[in-house]
Chains A and B, each alone.
Chain A
Amino acid sequence: MGDPYAVGRRGFLKTGAVAAAATAVACGKPDSRWRALSEGEAQTLAAACDQIIPADQDPGASQAGVVVFIDRQLATRQKKTLPTWQAGIAALEATARRRQGKTFVELSADQQTALLQQIERGEGDKADWGELAPADFFRLLHGHTMMGFYGDPRHGGNKERVAWRMLGMPDPPVRGRLHETPPPPALAPRPAAAPAPRKG
């Protein structure tokens, strides 16, 4: 996988200098490609998002950068909701382990669908979910997957406007003006990290 924070050639050229400066002071786990999530959390989230918008003839959620979008939000303007996301992802994993003895990622597509349908209906074991309402977490997951997939590419999702092209919307969206702004230094591209060891 490429750098999740790549902003496209034009944006990168513009922010290259800022990026170089920012890399030196970037916080978070230095070996992670993610700003807020752990590698394991990101993998679980990618699988869940791909249930919300699966790949078919068009890219699915994770290919379109939805996890990048969510991770960026959790590192910036929605920092306060990070514990909720972490708890929700952990609860998904706990449920998968308890029911099938597997990680969420290892479940079959149908098993993943069934599990998400249950939490959408608000069904979840107190032992796995604690204080978090499963339906609330599903709403969060669903809403952000939609935003990441169909929203503006400047936030890290809808990579190369895949969603808009899928819908047949003419390009570019705004005539006569540079539409996107470069990301702030805190979100500047990082050099590619060493591949994370596969869990399993």
Chain B
Amino acid sequence: MALPRVNAVVVGSGAGGGVVACQLAEAGLSVVLLEKGRWQSPFEERKDDLINQRNSSLGVAYGPDEDKNPRVAVDLQGRERVVYPRDGAYQPNASCVGGGTVSYGAQAWRFMPQDFRMRSTYGAIEGSTLEDWPISYEELEPYYERAEYEIGVSGDVEPNPFKGPRRKPLPMPPMTPKPREYGLLHAAALRLGLHPFDTPLLINSVPYHGRSACMRIRWCVGFGCETNAKNGTQNTVIPRALATGNAWLRTECKVKEVLLDDRGRATGVAYFDENDRLVEQPADLVVVSGGATESARLLLLSKSRLHPSGLGNRHDWVGRNLTGHTYTGAVGFFEQQIYDDIGPGVCVSVCDYNHGTPGMVGGGMLANDFIRLPIQFVNQQPPGTPAWGKAHKDFMRKYYTRNILVFGPTQDLPTWDGRVQLDPKLKDHWGVPVLRISGNNHLRTVEIADKQAERAEAWLKEAGAVVSYQRKAGRGVTGHQHQSGTCRMGSDPKTSVVDATCRVHDVPNVFVIDASVHVTNGGFNPVLTIYANAFRASGLLVKAWKGGGLRG
């Protein structure tokens, strides 16, 4: 079945695709936005601490379907295992209208200027495909601002001396009142000579764009927001796109491949609709925004005579350089009461350690964590404390309300072997080959990440922790909600997948606009960069469209 032709089809409605659909529709293009998951309204939000994005012990709440989308994970010993979205090795991200932005913690970080030129800053690193971005912080700055204002960010980053230049302050003030953790950690950071400030969040501290302010509950990160105070694409740019009358959102549509003609141009996409019927959507241009794992999969699946190994994959770069973040930090236990039930929790951060550690590469931001629910605290006892029995119960009673977790995302070094590829055997529910995920964390990443854990512990001790321990780096490839890098942006077609405008090198009308194009992923939660780059790339796309260069 083929549908009427449209100007653009956008695959995926997360941070990248939502912005693109909005920008194209507002520029007058007809747009079909395809989303694999459902539309989950804030009014049906029922928080469940065992079924969410942070704890999926019993399931995932925001997609993808748990049985229909297996993957193959290869561990450090090379053993293969079929995994499902509940499993961390799946490198899961949400799959619903808004993608990860429905249930994220919503930290709103700009990368630092050095994060765009890691290769120039640190030189070639053995075993890593480290490279500079083809664009600079300065080029992205106006779009960071648009993301902050159009999606909505609260916080106060002015006291952060390490930030890149910016023209405007954040649109919303930090949340008040501040939790007890703020006072302790802020003062301790100052005593250590650090530069603490209020964490920027894509959460309303005051009413903004017609939606309410945060009600400060404990169930935030990993959950949708029932008062709609957490800003994602589902409650900002997607409603804007639909309001133009130029955009159509179709949910539960699983895109199978990008269709190509004999000249190597895309003619649209084929997808399975909500009733599993195979449908073709013809379009003048295709934007792939499925997140770093699924976008790479779609390019690899789109094979044709001119692209026998998949779109953009002439030089075998699609799916490689998979990076998320290596999270390390420390847990501190205090004599006095810390817990005060003022969500979302994360409120104070430092960027003193993002760069400049002698002999090491990169670093990352450190901040206190969101409120951890009891089930997320049960395995946080210091080494040596029994994990069960009376001692466990005593630990929980004493320390659940007397602990702080400080941690952060260490910037990962991308590697050639940290990758996703199509599994030769396993297929999903629709008969489409699934992803196979493999690779290791780079040892230089492990080294700096463990250093970050030491620093987090020192901060907690200065704040008065009587007992503390470090959470060290894992050794496997990272991805998860911060997945990035698999369709690298670059000016050389031999060593990248898309150009600086996010257009696939050897296809004139296919774009990848999401974290897949990140050359490196910063020492920060990446979502604001995804938003900003999507504003930038879709602006360039509209310009090219108006110039007529994209019409077949």
Contacts and interface: CB of A to CB of B under 8 A. Distances in A.
A167 B400 contact: yes
B125 interface: no
Given A147-B58, A150-B375, A173-B47, A52 B217 contact: no
Nearest to A178: B46
A167 B48 CA distance: 18
A147 B57 contact: yes
Given A167-B401, A175-B215, A52 B49 contact: no
Interface in A141-180: 142-143, 145-147, 150-152, 154-155, 163-164, 166-170, 173-177, 179-180
A147 B378 CA distance: 9
A176 B393 contact: no
Nearest to A143: B57
Given A73-B58, A168-B400, A181 B390 contact: no
A43 B4 CA distance: 63
6 contacts: A54-B389, A56-B390, A73-B58, A143-B57, A147-B58, A166-B396
A113 B48 CA distance: 32
A181 to B, nearest CB: 5
A168 B401 contact: yes
Contact of A52 (B59, B219, B373, B388): B388
A179 B58 contact: no
Contact of A174 (B47, B50, B378, B387): B47
Contacts of B339: 168-169
Contacts of B227: 176
Contacts of A78: 58
Given A53-B393, A167-B401, A170-B341, A151 B388 contact: no
A31 interface: no
Contacts of B396: 150, 166-167
Contacts of B393: 53-54, 56, 58
Given A73-B58, A176-B215, 19 more contacts: A51-B388, A52-B389, A52-B392, A53-B392, A56-B393, A77-B58, A143-B57, A145-B388, A147-B375, A150-B375, A151-B57, A167-B397, A168-B401, A169-B218, A169-B339, A169-B341, A170-B341, A173-B217, A179-B46
A163 to B, nearest CB: 6
B374 interface: yes
Contacts of B341: 169-170
Interface in B440-478: none
Contacts of A142: 387-388
A54 B392 CA distance: 10
A143 B227 CA distance: 32
B111 to A, nearest CB: 34
A167 B341 CA distance: 12
A164 to B, nearest CB: 6
For chain A, give the interface size range. 35 or more
Contacts of A73: 58
A8 to B, nearest CB: 15
B423 interface: no
Contact of B59 (A77, A167, A173): A77
B359 to A, nearest CB: 39
B52 to A, nearest CB: 10
Contacts of B352: none
Contacts of A168: 339, 400-401
Nearest to B218: A173
B374 A163 contact: yes
**Chain A interface, >50% SS class:** loop
Contacts of A164: 374
A82 B47 CA distance: 27
Given A53-B393, A174-B217, A174-B219, A152 B49 contact: yes
Contacts of B217: 173-175
A80 B206 CA distance: 47
Contacts of A151: 49-50, 57, 375
Contact of A173 (B57, B219, B226, B400): B219
A177 B45 CA distance: 10
Given A167-B374, A169-B374, A181-B46, A113 B389 contact: yes
Nearest to A144: B57
A54 B50 contact: no
A75 to B, nearest CB: 13
A113 B47 CA distance: 35
A54 B396 CA distance: 13
Contacts of B379: 146
B401 A146 contact: no
A175 B393 CA distance: 27
* Cβ-closest 9 pairs across A and B: A150-B374, A167-B400, A52-B388, A150-B375, A151-B50, A146-B378, A170-B341, A152-B48, A181-B46
Given A143-B57, A147-B57, A167-B401, A179 B47 contact: yes
A123 to B, nearest CB: 17
A173 B374 CA distance: 12
A56 B390 CA distance: 8
Interface in A68-97: 73, 77-78
Contacts of B45: 177
Contacts of A143: 57
B168 to A, nearest CB: 33
A104 B400 CA distance: 32
A53 B50 contact: no
B147 to A, nearest CB: 29
Interface in A43-69: 51-54, 56, 58
A115 to B, nearest CB: 13
B59 A146 contact: no
Interface string B338-349: 010100000000
A175 B239 CA distance: 27
